[in-house]
Amino acid sequence: MTAVPNAKEHNPYTARMAEFVAGLTFEAIPPEVIARIKLLILDALGCALFGARLEWSRILCETLAGLDSTPACRVWGTGLRLSAPHAALANGALVQSFELDDVHRQGVLHVGAVTLPPLLAIAELRGMTGRAFLRAAVAGFEIGPRVGMCMGPQHLVQGWHSGATVGVFSAAAAASAALQLPAEKIVHALGIAGTQASGLMAAQFGSMVKRMHAGRAAQSGLYAALLAERGFTGITDIFENPYGGFCTTFSASPNRFDREELIAGLGESFETMRISAKLYSCVSTNHTSLDALRKIRERHPFDVADVEQIVVHCSRATLEHAGWTYRPEGMTAAQLNLPFCIATLLLEGDVFVEQFSPNAIRNPERIALAQKVKVTEDREITARGGKYRHMVRLTVYLRNGVTLGESVEAPKGSEENFPPDEIIIEKFTKLCANLPPQRLCKIRDMVLSLEGIADAREIASLLTA
């Protein structure tokens, strides 16, 4: 690995992360990590191909196409070709377009949405083997979650959208690895990425712009690596600087981040294995409550009319992120609001793409049922920290006086219960049902055998409508 001069004195954490990205080899990645990241890549691409058909995706892509006539890179699921930065912006937004994509729960980050767009853009620009693609993807999947763990769930509670703020580091790491930058330039890439970090959680209350946050992070990371490659300099102590550094600026107080999380187990314990796959089409914060409600109903079936009240006891992060009073102001609000998602499950039996039509978000029956759901903080759960931020105790009070309860620490699809290969493939197939079957199978088979592909640009060509 290439050392960074005076690293221990000036920027020990930033330098160590850069050295990891520069020094990572395909051979050093455990086989189980390679197997897992291929499934995560397939899952992210399925999310993007589904998202390409949505209204907000269409508006974004048409706007970018009106500004950009550079046919360098493909926009997945469409016939568009744009410049690499605009393609990264669009493709990141597509992956995050319907609350279907992966999440590192403790790091509060949708990793594929910010990592894969800049990586595939570089593959299209420069060419890249499948092994090199997987190596660079692992670099991105490892760095971003560690930044998220450093900041903790309070970063989200403070109002920052961590997928956007933290996501720039996954993007920059993956792009830097793809470009094979030395460690001293990766330090600058991380510093360039960090100063572009932005994203506000008020976007969750109904706007389309939340979908774009991941795309902007992907774009920023791509810019960061390409600029650093040419010698453009960034903040070399982006994580250490006490004034205007990432940690101090994006934290509510000096005691609310832990820089040791940036490098703890780096290169030995792989965060890629702690990334969850979503089995519901809503914010990951809501999944434990939905699982709890399903368990209760399986054990003690009841009708919607029987419900007097439902109470969700949860962490402060869950309360702030998803426990607010529902207002039918857009699809984003419907998919992020916990009471509305609970009402959807009770009435529809599932919370997937079919349950979120444009009309459903204003359905009077769902809204009335959502008003029977109370979300309240359990300080004991909050005190357990970021690892348990999704834990809930859910209680159903029925009109006949019966009380039913269930606690869930981690949802189905989480790292503790990651779905078998066939479930991820089934989800991909369902999301891409509009594709010709032959092309769908080619995408699936190519991703799942990516280490044997001579040119990763073949993936991009298959993703083009």
Q: What is the pLDDT of residues 248-293, one digit of tens each?
A: 999 977 778 999 999 999 999 999 999 999 999 999 999 999 999 9
Question: With 50 as the cut, is the pLDDT of residue 6 above it?
Answer: no
Which of 289, 279, 286, 269 is closest to 418 using CA atoms?
Answer: 279
Q: Are 357 and 102 in contact (CB under 8 A)?
A: no
| Chain center to CA of 202 | 17
As a whole number, mean pLDDT of residues 396-421 equals 95
pLDDT digits (tens, 9 = 90+) for 168-195: 999 999 999 999 999 999 999 999 999 9
Domain range list for the chain: 7-274, 284-411
Question: With 70 as the cut, is the pLDDT of residue 324 above it?
Answer: yes
The pLDDT of residue 219 is 98
Q: Is 403 left (phi over 0), alpha (psi -120 to 50) or beta?
A: beta
The pLDDT of residue 1 is 39
As a whole number, mean pLDDT of residues 377-397 equals 94
CA neighbours closer than 13 Å in the CB half-sphere of residue 69: 0
Name the token pair of 13.
């954490």
As a whole number, mean pLDDT of residues 441-462 equals 97
As a whole number, mean pLDDT of residues 309-316 equals 97
Nearest 5°: phi and psi at 398?
-95, 155
Nearest 5°: phi and psi at 83?
-60, 160
- pLDDT classification of 416: cutoffs 50, 70, 90: confident
Beta bridge partners of 263: none
- pLDDT classification of 3: cutoffs 50, 70, 90: very low
For 158, other C-beta atoms within 10 Å of its C-beta total 16
**3 state SS of 403:** strand
pLDDT digits (tens, 9 = 90+) for 184-230: 999 999 999 999 999 999 999 989 999 999 999 999 999 999 999 99
pLDDT digits (tens, 9 = 90+) for 151-160: 998 899 899 9
| Comparison of pLDDT for 239 and 105, the residue scoring more | 239
263-286 burial: b if 16+ Cβ within 10 Å, else e: beebeeebbbebbbbbbbbbbbbb
The pLDDT of residue 84 is 98
pLDDT digits (tens, 9 = 90+) for 123-146: 999 999 999 999 999 999 999 999
As a whole number, mean pLDDT of residues 242-251 equals 95
Distance CA 101, CA 333 (A): 17
Distance CA 188, CA 161 (A): 23
Question: With 50 as the cut, is the pLDDT of residue 5 above it?
Answer: no
Question: With 60 as the cut, is the pLDDT of residue 7 above it?
Answer: no
200 CB-near residues (< 8 Å, 6+ apart)? 159, 160, 161
The pLDDT of residue 119 is 98
290 CB-near residues (< 8 Å, 6+ apart)? 280, 282, 341, 342, 345, 351, 411
Question: With 50 as the cut, is the pLDDT of residue 4 above it?
Answer: no
Nearest 5°: phi and psi at 396?
-110, 125
As a whole number, mean pLDDT of residues 416-438 equals 95
Distance CA 78, CA 69 (A): 15
What percent of the chain clears pLDDT 70, i.e. is strictly above it?
98
| Comparison of pLDDT for 198 and 4, the residue scoring more | 198
- pLDDT classification of 122: cutoffs 50, 70, 90: very high
The DSSP code sequence of 210-275 is HHHHHHHHHHHHHHHHHHHHTT----TTTTT-TTT-HHHHSSSSTTS--THHHHTTTTTS-GGGG-
For 358, other C-beta atoms within 10 Å of its C-beta total 10
Q: Are 440 and 429 in contact (CB under 8 A)?
A: yes
The three state secondary structure string of 85-104 is: HHHHHHHHHHHCCCCCCCEE
As a whole number, the mean pLDDT across the chain is 95
Q: What is 284-411's CATH topology?
A: 60s Ribosomal Protein L30; Chain: A; (3.30.1330)
As a whole number, mean pLDDT of residues 17-24 equals 98
Strand order from edge to edge, sheet including 392-398: 373-377, 307-314, 392-398, 403-408
Question: With 70 as the cut, is the pLDDT of residue 103 above it?
Answer: yes
Question: With 80 as the cut, is the pLDDT of residue 2 above it?
Answer: no
As a whole number, mean pLDDT of residues 222-244 equals 97
Question: CATH assignment of 7-274?
Answer: 1.10.4100.10
Residue 343 DSSP symbol: H
